[in-house]
Each structure stands twice: as C-alpha cells, then as structure tokens.
C-alpha cells in the first residue's frame, strides 16, 4: 500500500489537467489542486493556495467545463471552471493510502511518472523482500502499457506489447462487430440487470489462484451464471504476534464451531465498549496504574475486576472540583469484593478471563457478542474438503461486511452452485445465450475465502468510510475545563449488579447506575486495537496463568 507524493511540476491550464489526470465519478476520480493566485469568479473568489476538488467534466451550454468544489467552514461551495482557465495549478498533498492497482488506474498522469512511498501497512515482508537493504520506501512508478484484443473467429485474447513497432488502420466501419468475441468481466456481469439472469457463458480467461474446484472455472468451460446478489461475510484476522497475518472472509453458513479466546484491552474505555448485558466482563490487569486523584482507584499488575458500567464522579483538581467519566467496577479480592472507579482515560492493559466453555456457531457469536471478538476453531467444518481456519492458532472476528457475488454452476450440473466474489475474482467470459429453463432449487456451496493484506485493508477502509468510530475518551482533566463533556445525555437509573462468577459476593457500598455512555452497539469499534500483535507484559501473562491454575484447583 502506498502514499502519493504530490507532483511539484505545475499544470498550466484546466485543459492540461483534464487531458492528463483521470477525473470521474469514482471516489478515486476527484483530484485536488491549488492555484498560485486568487481566481475571481462571478459569485466566488478562490483564494491563493485553497484546495480545489475536481469532481467531473461536462458540457454546459456548448462549453466543456470542470465541476469543482471548495470546502469552507464544513460547507461545500460548488463552481465550474472552463478548460481555458490558465495559471499554475499544483497538486495538493494526498494523505490517503492506495493500492498499486488504484494508482495505476487513477493516479498516474499521462506522460508523467508518479512518486509514491510505501506505508507501514506494506512493510511486512518475509524472506522474499524485493527491496535493497538501504531502501527508504520511495519509488518512482512508470507504467508499461499493453493492448489486449481479440481476433476474428478466435477465442483467445491477444496481447500486443508496447515495444512492437507496427502500423494499424481503423476498419471499424467496414466490419461487423458480431464477428468478434463479446468479452465480459465479472464486473460487467454484475452490472447486468437481474432480469437478464440466468445466462450461459464460456470461460475465456480463468481466474488466478481461485479457491473453487479447478474443473469449475477453466478456459473453454461452459458455466451458468444464475444471479447477482449481496451476501454477508465476517472479516477475520489471524491472532499472532508476528507478520504477515492471514485474513479471511467467513460466510455465516460456515459449519465449524468456535470457542472463545481472551481479548486484550489497552484502556478502560475499551472495557466500556466491550462489556455486555449477557455476562459480566471479568479481566485481569497487565499494567499498573496510579491515579493522580484520591477519588479514583489504583491498579496493580494481576488485579482482577468485574466491569459493570460507566458513570461520572467528581475529583479535586488543584482545588477545583471536576467531573470525569469513570468505569464502575468490582475489584475481586481473596474473599470479598470492593468497589473500584477507573477513569475512562486510563491507559493500562487488561486481559479477559474466559469462564464460558461453550462451542458456538459463527452466527451465534455475531448475534450474542459485540465484534471484535476472539475465537479459536474447536470443530472444523466437515462439509468442506480443507478447512483453512482449523489450522489457525486463533482468530479475531472483526466486523460483518456486505459484498457483491455471482452465483455460478457448471452447465452440466446447474444445481450445484458456487458463490464467487465480483471484486476479487478476475475472470473473462463470452456470453453464449440466455437460459430460459428453470434450474430448480440450488445446492449453494460457500467457501472461506483467504484474502491478501491489500484486499483486507481496502475492506477496512471502505467500512470505516461508511460509519465513523466513537471518539477516544478525554484525557486528564485540565484547569481550564469547568466540566468534562459527558459521553451521553441518557438518564441514569439504578440496576442490580450481575452475579459474579464466584459464589461469594459483597454489595458495593454505593448505587451503581446504568449509564450506556452514548455508545452505539452497532457502530464499528474503531478504538479497540488488536493487541494480540503487541508484546504482552510478562507479569500480566503470568497473572492470567495463575488465575486459570487457581480455578482448576477449586474445581
């Protein structure tokens, strides 16, 4: 994955920009520029250095113009510029991260090179690292193009290299296009209307690295494309401390079973997000915390807590009372419990203690628990020949996503169908005919799909752009603040404490309030990090081990 380095060479007119840069309706097709001087329009003045986003090119009253926009005070102001608009236009710095495919298709100007920098996301190489030892991460990309074509009455695709010095003549008007193959990609098939399915197609180019049976998608094979649809998948990552991690898309129809694995939490705020009404969250501290206020609780490595809910409390800060958000917990002692208040801004470390030995289907996990969630396959899916999840040491189920699929089958066996992803399976087919007869009921086979680091990041980026994560909790109270903003305006109400995992229980001396902290249970948990990748504190890990030993001894 790459970041783009802004081109220092200016463009001298809007015409040069439109001739050189890709501008389109895709989110990748909105380049941004700034001008060296003010641009005075009829109702608006574009200031020197102000970022101008180019949205589209269209003909208005017989003149080709560029639809543009500037953002001021969180409001977008739209305007158009003619192609004849001259001046020095410079590319703006771009903080987004792109795949190599995106850069080649959208971000390399014609007749120019593109300088990019590798990001940390791609800095995970094994022994096949292709870069020299002193490589600093900066690359200059220059595309090499080739022409793909089809020949009359031939079914294979011909590739014409750019080094081939030939002359060509346009004979489009004198030949019938029906003499040539009408090739369609998986994206082309998905753009067809639902009424056009099912269709019969012949595979011209088979996908590389497909996890489907080899005899389904191979050149010359006739297939049936039954329909297009959207399907749910669970995005999951392997839990391991070293890179590269493997990433998977798990269908909700997966028949294997899972057991829970302990989660790790970097802050008290993450505990607030992870708690549920189904059971009390039991954690052990892996990092000490010493508060600067007597009203708050201190934490030592190995301390155990039952997490209940968030509330507010007053603390004395330099002689002034301040209101802070805290997490109301019970600290588990040897023979009793004591109330504990942990500030949400607390940066510590906690590991979950699992008492649940039940085995779950993936649909049950998604329904009963909030993602992200840590599991391990306890019973593999026996309905598939090779369950690639069974060999993983552990999985973090990260989020539920929706993706685009085609339902296909072998023409000779149309009732056994497979789901193929539109965006990750590159296949070229020739349309043979429409299928008028009813294929009856389907036996739909879904596969666990292993995806690349690049594909994984693209999915996370897309999902994050749809819904913003909740904000980080406030830091320590300051003198200037009269009152920290509460995480919610919901009314507080007294509730009974969940029963602790152990038999004895001591009531907390003060009422604990149900305070949901304004967190939407369906929002993605943007601030829960995958701490399985970070180095655990040895003493904390030992404390967890000791807890399990004690519990086993008690049994």
Q: What's the pLDDT at 510?
A: 32
Q: Is residue 202 within 8 Å of residue 222, measured between CB atoms?
A: yes
CA distances from 87 to 79, 332, 487 (A): 17, 70, 49
Q: Is the pLDDT of residue 454 over 70?
A: yes
Q: Is the pLDDT of residue 176 over 80?
A: no
Q: State the DSSP code for 105.
A: I
Q: What's the pLDDT at 369?
A: 87
**Total Cβ atoms within 10 A of residue 100:** 14
Q: Is residue 212 within 8 Å of residue 228, measured between CB atoms?
A: no
Kindly list the domain boundaries of the chain, sorted by start residue. Answer: 2-141
Q: What's the pLDDT at 520?
A: 37
The per-residue pLDDT of the chain, averaged, comes to: 79
Q: State the DSSP code for 31.
A: -
Q: Is residue 3 within 8 Å of residue 97, measured between CB atoms?
A: yes
- 3-state secondary structure (DSSP) of residue 425: coil
Task: List Cβ neighbours of 246 (8 Å cut-off, separation of 6 or more).
Answer: 237, 238, 392, 450
Q: State the DSSP code for 289.
A: B
- Decide: residue 419, CB within 10 A, 0-12 exposed, 13-18 middle, 19+ buried: buried
CA distances from 343 to 302, 306, 480, 483, 549 (A): 18, 15, 19, 15, 30
Q: Is the pLDDT of residue 112 over 50?
A: yes
Q: How far apart are the first and last CA of the chain?
A: 51
Q: Provide φ and ψ at 422, rounded to 5°.
A: -70, -45
Report DSSP letters for 475-528, one per residue.
-S--TT-SSPPPS--PPPEE-PPPPPSSS-----SSPPEE--TT--TTS--TT-
**Once rounded to an integer, what is the mean pLDDT over residues 35-48?**
91
Confidence of residue 475 (pLDDT cuts 50, 70, 90): low
Alpha-helical regions (H) of 175-217: 186-191
Q: What's the pLDDT at 487?
A: 34
Q: What is the pLDDT of residues 264-285, one digit of tens each?
A: 998 888 888 888 877 889 999 9
Omega of the bond prior to 198 within 30 degrees of 0, cis?
yes
**Once rounded to an integer, what is the mean pLDDT over residues 18-33?**
87
- Decide: residue 375, CB within 10 A, 0-12 exposed, 13-18 middle, 19+ buried: buried
């Amino acid at each position: 994955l790459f970041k783009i380095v802004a081109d220092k060479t200016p463009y001298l007119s809007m015409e040069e920009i439109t001739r050189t840069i890709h501008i389109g309706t895709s989110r990748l097709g909105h380049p941004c520029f700034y001008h060296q001087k003010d641009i005075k329009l009829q109702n608006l003045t574009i200031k020197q250095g102000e970022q101008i986003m180019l949205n589209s090119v269209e003909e208005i009253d017989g003149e080709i113009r560029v639809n543009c926009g500037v953002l001021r005070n969180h409001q977008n102001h739209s305007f158009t510029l003619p192609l004849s608009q001259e001046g020095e236009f410079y590319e703006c710095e771009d903080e987004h991260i792109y795949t190599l495919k995106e850069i080649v298709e959208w971000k390399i100007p014609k007749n120019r090179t593109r300088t990019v920098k590798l990001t940390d996301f791609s800095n995970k190489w094994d022994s096949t690292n292709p870069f020299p030892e002193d490589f600093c991460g900066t690359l200059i990309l220059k595309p090499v193009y080739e022409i793909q074509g089809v020949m009359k009455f031939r079914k294979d695709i011909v590739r014409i290299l750019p080094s081939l010095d030939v002359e060509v003549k346009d004979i489009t008007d004198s030949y019938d296009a029906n003499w040539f193959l009408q090739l369609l990609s998986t994206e082309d098939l998905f753009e067809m209307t639902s009424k056009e399915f099912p269709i019969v197609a012949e595979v011209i180019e088979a996908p590389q690295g497909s996890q489907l049976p080899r005899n389904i998608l191979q050149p010359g094979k006739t297939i049936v494309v039954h329909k297009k649809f959207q399907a749910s998948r669970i995005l999951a990552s392997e839990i391991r401390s070293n890179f590269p991690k493997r990433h998977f898309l798990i269908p909700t129809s997966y028949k294997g079973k899972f057991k829970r694995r302990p989660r790790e939490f970097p802050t008290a705020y993450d505990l607030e997000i992870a708690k549920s009404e189904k059971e009390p969250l039991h954690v052990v501290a892996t990092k000490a915390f010493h508060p600067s206020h007597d009203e708050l609780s201190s934490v030592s490595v190995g301390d155990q807590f039952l997490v209940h809910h968030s509330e507010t409390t007053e603390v004395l800060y330099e002689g002034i009372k301040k209101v802070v958000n805290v997490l109301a917990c019970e600290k588990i002692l040897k023979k009793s419990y004591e109330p504990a208040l942990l500030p949400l801004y607390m940066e510590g470390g906690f590991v979950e203690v699992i008492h649940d030995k039940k085995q779950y289907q993936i649909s049950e996990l998604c329904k009963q628990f909030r993602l992200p969630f840590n599991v391990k396959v306890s019973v593999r899916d026996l309905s598939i020949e090779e369950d690639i999840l069974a060999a993983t040491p552990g999985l973090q189920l990260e989020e539920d996503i929706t993706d685009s699929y085609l339902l296909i089958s072998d023409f000779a066996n149309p009732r056994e169908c497979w789901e193929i992803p539109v965006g990750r399976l590159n296949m070229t087919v020739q349309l043979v005919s429409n299928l008028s007869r009813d294929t009856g009921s389907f036996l739909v086979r879904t596969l666990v799909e292993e995806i690349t680091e690049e594909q994984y990041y693209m999915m996370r980026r897309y999902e994050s752009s749809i819904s913003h994560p909740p904000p980080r909790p406030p830091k320590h109270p300051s003198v200037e603040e009269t009152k920290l903003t509460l995480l919610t305006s919901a009314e507080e109400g007294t509730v009974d404490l969940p029963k602790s995992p152990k038999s004895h229980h001591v009531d907390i001396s003060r009422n604990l309030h149900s305070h949901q902290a304004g967190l939407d249970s369906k929002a993605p948990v943007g601030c829960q990090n995958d701490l399985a990748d970070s180095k655990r504190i040895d003493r904390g890990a030992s404390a967890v081990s000791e807890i399990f030993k004690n519990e086993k001894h008690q049994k």
